[in-house]
Amino acid sequence: MRWQEYPYNFEGLDKMLERISSKKIALDRLRPLPSIALKSIKESLTLEWTYNSNSIEGNTLTLVETKLIIEEGITIKGKSLREHFEAVNHQVAIEMIESLVDKNHLLNVHDILIVNGVVLQNIEKEYAGRYRTSGVRISGANFVPPNALKIDDLMTELINWVNEYPIDIVIKAAIVHHRFVWIHPFFDGNGRTARLIFNLLLMQAGFPPAIILKNDRKKYYDALNNSNNGDYSKLLLLVLQALERSLDIYLASLTNTYEDYLPVSQIVEDPHIPYGQEYVSLLARQGKIDSFKEGRNWLTSKQAVLDYIQNRDRNRTFNS
């Protein structure tokens, strides 16, 4: 059987696809998403993506260390330069993927080479962003990746399939993920590049990125081995679970956000808020609290004001 025709069905697949599709519709209804909330969810998912994708491949940085490196430019004592570069490179690669999302962009070979080049920059001199030129083995895998001479054609076939074949995008993304690592076009960075490219497809379809968690590494490798044997179902399930988790994260924080937002006049009635309406409105206008304007009113939340107070107190302590 050809790889395009391997089965992927499992019990409950239709239900799961339906649920995911209704969560996506719910998310789309909230658009345009409030920018402050969006920024914070995006940042935390991006960090998780970088941490988990690198960690699956053996990077020993923790989530917090990864965050310090990416957001603060701090170096972590005892960790190799390579591990630092892996964190930073992955972050840059995500930004690159994001820049391709808006443009109704058709995937091409160039994208894949560039993404791999970024993943391996400052780490691998000769082969970053270049297909491998000889054979490789994947440890623990139940197959040997194809001869290096075939990579060009196999990748072209895959990319054409991605751009032409009419099939649910989520199923397509899972199949691409597998086919990519099966071809194993690079000496290194295949897993990270595959997870970046497959998320590009999901994000182009309006989904958040699906993050394969480090904790699911064994399940993930089993699922890949099943796929090598001609059955995508385990991998599809894993991908759908990852995707649903990201949708849940978005929906939870955005809907909470919305429910808690009230006009400033109501927020200040809460006995825990030590400010009057005028002052809170001022903070809102100045962008000092999480808030947004609806019609003529500023909406904010009790939590936003309390966060402001807490931050202000902390800054005082620092400055004194």
Ligand X SMILES: Nc1ncnc2c1ncn2[C@@H]1O[C@H](COP(=O)(O)OP(=O)(O)O)[C@@H](O)[C@H]1O
Active site residues: 184
Distance CA(186)–CA(128), nearest Å, equals: 8
> Tokens for 193?
């590049």
The least distance separating Mg ion from the CB of residue 181, rounded to whole angstroms, comes to 11
The correct pick among 129, 185, 191, 208 for binding ligand X (CB under 6 A) is: 191
Candidate residues 158, 224, 239, 283; the one interacting with ligand X per rule CB under 6 A: 224
Q: Which of 23, 46, 57, 107 touches ligand X by CB under 6 A?
A: 57
- Give 28: exposed, middle or buried? Use CB within 10 Å, 0-12, 13-18, 19+: exposed
Residue 121 or 253 having the CB closest to Mg ion: 121
| CA pair distance 29, 198, nearest whole angstrom | 24
* Residue nearer to ligand X on the CB measure, 2 or 272: 2
- Residue 182 found at the interface with ligand X (CB under 6 A): yes
Residue 228 touching ligand X (CB under 6 A): yes
Cα 191 to Cα 168, 183, 197, 198, 274: the distances in Å are 23, 11, 10, 11, 52
Q: For ligand X, what does the binding mask look like between residues 140 and 179, x meaning CB under 6 A?
A: xx--------------------------------------
Query: Which residues of the chain form contacts with Mg ion (CB under 5 A)?
Result: 57, 188
Q: How far apart are CA 306 and CA 28, in angstroms?
A: 30
Among 44, 225, 241, 297, binds ligand X (CB under 6 A): 225
Helix (H) or strand (E) holding 261: none
Q: Quick one: what does residue 221 bind among ligand X, Mg ion, none, with the CB cut-off 5 to 8 Å set by partner type?
A: ligand X
Amino acid of residue 282? L
CB of 238 to ligand X, least distance (A): 12
Between CA 178 and CA 63, with CA 88 as vertex, the angle to 5 degrees is 80
Q: Is 6 or 182 the residue whose CB approaches ligand X more closely? A: 182
Burial class (CB in 10 A: 0-12, 13-18, 19+), 215: exposed
Which spans of this chain sit near ligand X (rule: CB under 6 A)?
56-57, 138, 140-141, 181-182, 186, 188-192, 194, 221, 224-225, 228
